Amino acid sequence: MKDADCVEFLQWALPNLQLRWPGFRKVRGQVCKRLARRLQELQCPDVEFYRGYLETHPEEWRVLDGLCQVTISRFYREKAVFQFLENTVLPALLQRVIAREEKYLNILSLGSASGEEPYAISMLWHFRFQKQYPDITLRVTATEANPELIQRSRQACYPYSGIKNLPPDWRATAFQQIKDNYCLNPQYHQSVHFVQQDVRNNIPPGPFDLVLCRNLVFTYFDEALQNTILDRIALVLRDEGILVLGIHENLPANQTAFIPWSGKLRVFIKNKKA
Ligand SMILES: C[S@@+](CC[C@H](N)C(=O)[O-])C[C@H]1O[C@@H](n2cnc3c(N)ncnc32)[C@H](O)[C@@H]1O
């Protein structure tokens, strides 16, 4: 399939799925490859034919929706965000947990791919905070729509390219090399709970101290859907809870529920007045 045909097709189809083309522009290769495979399976000669097929087979939109889920991730993607979490955000949140005389630090990771983001938080906790805060327990809830990725998350084995951004001593301590893969040792799994869930329909109830929603909602979803999900995130976050987006993402322009903490890193504080 020619790139131009794929682009034209996506520009037509994505709005019907409440998705936005600009989010897909740079990563369309993955989606176009899947689309070409689907056309082959259905023996569609070209995308024009597939458009007709979608019109006569409305159930196919669900399949197309699945093809449009971009799954790229890695540990410590956007490293500066994790450094900000380590040096600034987590110490502040831990002080609040202590002030509330509570035992748990509750974190939500939305669109958790193969577990890279929630496990990175678990490692950060083990290596930097656990000894200093022995009375506090970390609980990370991670949601992901794709059941295969949930399975992969539970296996927690990654190629070297997936873990190479991590500090070298963490890589050496936390992973065991098995053939070409690096498998995360079980003690780092304990604080992470995976749930198969579509963020468009469900969000775990909370309350959460921190929500990571990176490189999904605010990249790929249209503005109406972004606003709906943002309202739901605000509901499950504590007052002055923290929301982290990907560094190339932005909140919808009209929202008032969050104020920037670090604008450059797209870290936001839930606005008490909202
Ligand atoms: C581009 S990855 C980002 C992963 C991670 N948050 C990061 O920043 O590295 C987006 C993830 O969201 C998942 N996803 C896509 N649509 C979803 C939906 N509607 N609900 C939940 N997860 C979804 C994809 O399967 C993929 O694992």
Cα 103 to ligand 1 centre (Å): 29
The pLDDT of residue 205 is 96
- List the domains of the chain with CATH numbers: 3-67 (no CATH), 79-270 (3.40.50.150)
Please name the amino acid found at residue 198.
D
Tell me the β-bridge partners of 208: 237
Residue 36 has pLDDT above 90, yes or no: yes
How far apart CA 274 and CA 137 sit, in angstroms, is 29
Residue 125 has pLDDT above 70, yes or no: yes
Nearest alpha-carbon partner for 237 in 259, 213, 209: 209
Q: Which own/partner contact pairs does 159-162 have at CB distance under 8 Å and 24+ positions apart?
A: 161/74, 162/73, 162/74, 162/75, 162/114, 162/116
Cα 112 to ligand 1 centre (Å): 6
Q: Give the chain's length.
A: 274
The pLDDT of residue 198 is 96
β-pair type (192-196, 137-144):
parallel
What's the whole-model pTM score? 0.96
CA-nearest residue, atom 12 of ligand 1: 111
At which residue do the structure tokens 């890193």 appear? Answer: 265
Cα 65 to ligand 1 centre (Å): 13
Residues 6 or more apart whose Cβ sits within 8 Å of residue 51:
9, 12, 13
When pLDDT is averaged across residues 67-81 and rounded to a whole number, the result is 94
When pLDDT is averaged across residues 14-36 and rounded to a whole number, the result is 96
The pLDDT of residue 108 is 98
- Cβ–Cβ under 8 Å, residues 76 and 170: no
- Cβ–Cβ under 8 Å, residues 241 and 208: yes
Could you tell which of 69, 112, 143 is best to mutate to test the pocket of ligand 1, judged by most ligand atoms within 8 Å of the CB?
A: 69
When pLDDT is averaged across residues 124-151 and rounded to a whole number, the result is 97
How far, in Å, are 68, 222, 225 from residue 18 at the CA level?
11, 5, 7
How far apart CA 92 and CA 105 sit, in angstroms, is 11
Q: Which two tokens stand for residue 212?
A: 């990571």
At which residue do the structure tokens 């805060």 appear? Answer: 133
Q: Which two tokens stand for residue 234?
A: 């605000």
Alpha-helical segments (H) within 42-107: 47-56, 60-67, 79-84, 90-99
The pLDDT of residue 274 is 59
